[in-house]
Structure 1
Amino acid sequence: MTRRPISLALAALLCGTVGLLPATAKAQQLCAADLNGNGDAADEGETASCQLTTAGGWMCPIGETPCVADASGVEQCPLGSQYACVTPAAGGKVSCSPNPCIDTGANPIQTDPVVDDPGVEADGSVDAEGHCLGTIEIFAGRSARCRPAGLLTTFQNCCKDRGKIIKDGMGGSISSISTKIAVAKGVLTGMKAAYAAFQVGATASQAASAGANAIIVGLDPTSIAISLAINFMIEILLQGCDSQDMEVGMLKGSGMCHEVGSYCTSKILGICLQKSVGHCCFNTRLGRIIQEQGRPQLQSFNVVGWGTPKQPYCRGLTPEEFQALDFSKMDLSEYYEDIEARAQSQIQIDMKDKIDAYQQTIRQ
């Protein structure tokens, strides 16, 4: 099987440009323009492959304007005399563009590496009497990012809310912290398994199945909607999203992530081509709610807050901080409403999901 460095959609978009696919002599020019005035060129329609001209040069199709012949028959650019009038090699009218082309061979796209924050270990070392020897953190999270529509995601929104895939109720083993930690780790394992399979040639459906299988191993199957997870992974794998995009998308849709803000992750000559959105993701929805409403009560978070979008500050609460919280000042209605919404019919569906998932695991 052949390795898939990026999605086929991105290959079609760039026709092999910007160093993401094998380069050709006609696939090394990229142009970008901030059309909406938000300070970057990361939105759809703001980045494009340049067109080869009959003169052997390049022209950016963004802002392309037909030239007009003057009284002597010489083509003039309506945008200004500083812009050259050229003829596309593929045919068409003589035109000009105000946006320059960038040689991506000499000026490659610079992309920040993905930071994989493992979060706090669920079980640290203890002494002979079972006392924790490390730092206790309550409702600890882990930092992660997802990418909105941009060049490297084929202009698909990898941060899109795709529904509640991970279940977060009250009662049964799924309400325990240890089980929720296992679910969070299982999701990460599954996302990586799906993405790895897709990268080495599996179809999106095969990769999603591999990811779902990795997720349910060792977990209470009622903690995750397997059918929704499979559909989610098929959709997102075809959109050029990576494993961390998938993980955040799943946790965010389930109400377990706090959005810190957006920042640029891919640039060329200082021009932003792809943004990311930093999050703190937790093991439970309740953990996220208590963190959001508890931090403003604690002086220890006054300066750092949630950190920065690029480096979210996701540590858990110390026992002393947790004891200092005034829960009477917190609005937990979001969590209560979620619990109340779990009608008897939903409980029965959960039980069926549990039986079906275990049977699926046994058969493999």
Structure 2
Amino acid sequence: MAVVLLHLVILMKLFMLSCGEFQRFDEKIKSDGSLSIFVVGDWGRNGNYNQSQVATQMGKIGEELGIDFVISTGDNFYEDGLQGVYDNQFQQSFTDIYTAKSLQKQWYSVLGNHDYRGDVLAQLSPILQKFDSKWFCMRSFIVNTENVDFFFVDTTPFERKYWTHPKDHHYDWRNVEPRDQYIENLLKDLDLALKESRAPWKFVVGHHTMRSVSDHGDTQELLQELLPTLKANDVDLYINGHDHCLEHISSRDSPIQYFTSGGGSKAWRGKFTPNADKLRFFYDGQGFMSMKITSTSVDLVFYDIFGTNLYQWSMNKQLLTVM
């Protein structure tokens, strides 16, 4: 009876977190005023498709950079998410792969479309943190730091085809349906949180591409429903996975930069379709991204499975001081 009651309490908490304001979590910056993180997505394949090689390089470079935490851009477990909190894939695709000392930091994860094909509540369950304390996953939440606020957004419900044409797949819409109400509440909470942010930088993290030249391409629902909120609130970066590649695209009608880091395992899709924005970098293969952030600068680097620096890019901003 006690076990049943505990399970019900956990489900109630998850339901409340999925429907209310974004939960906030704090991360400290280094004594020199900087923050260093990794971004990797679309990885959970039991070490196959070069997942282990990517993890090895993350461990080595993470030691050099002094990584503070890791962001996972979703599709954490293939092909159909986790089947429960005791699914062996959690250990085989996560705990047993990211073993380097430098990676034993908090992993902040969003859900991808493949995660929604399994037991979503399992990935959201705090029980997984008992198995591996570095794991952390919620639908939408905020990580606050002195330099930057990260707004993690649950993008899978935005795509209508998952609702109307799921093909042979089953999507776990518990605590999400009805779709329109869920998205309306999410956008309202995001808009409020962005307006309240006083951090020098504002980055939004989601699974799905906003702009991409690869296999999935642009996500029209995000361009129509999510992007206006980002533009209205001076968001600097939109960071995603979904397409299994590494890319950087600059918006032509706003300061927003789009970064895809979805090369955590299976890649090499062999597709390239330009869009209306400016493509700065595209690599159709496996790898990951690092970010070093101060109050006035952001330095980003893409790496491949050999740890090679494929591309680097920096942006700066002048902070206004009030006399």
TM-score (normalizing by structure 1): 0.24
Give the greater-gyration-radius structure (CA). Answer: 1
* Structure with greater helix share of residues: 1
TM-score (normalizing by structure 2): 0.26
* Structure with greater strand share of residues: 2
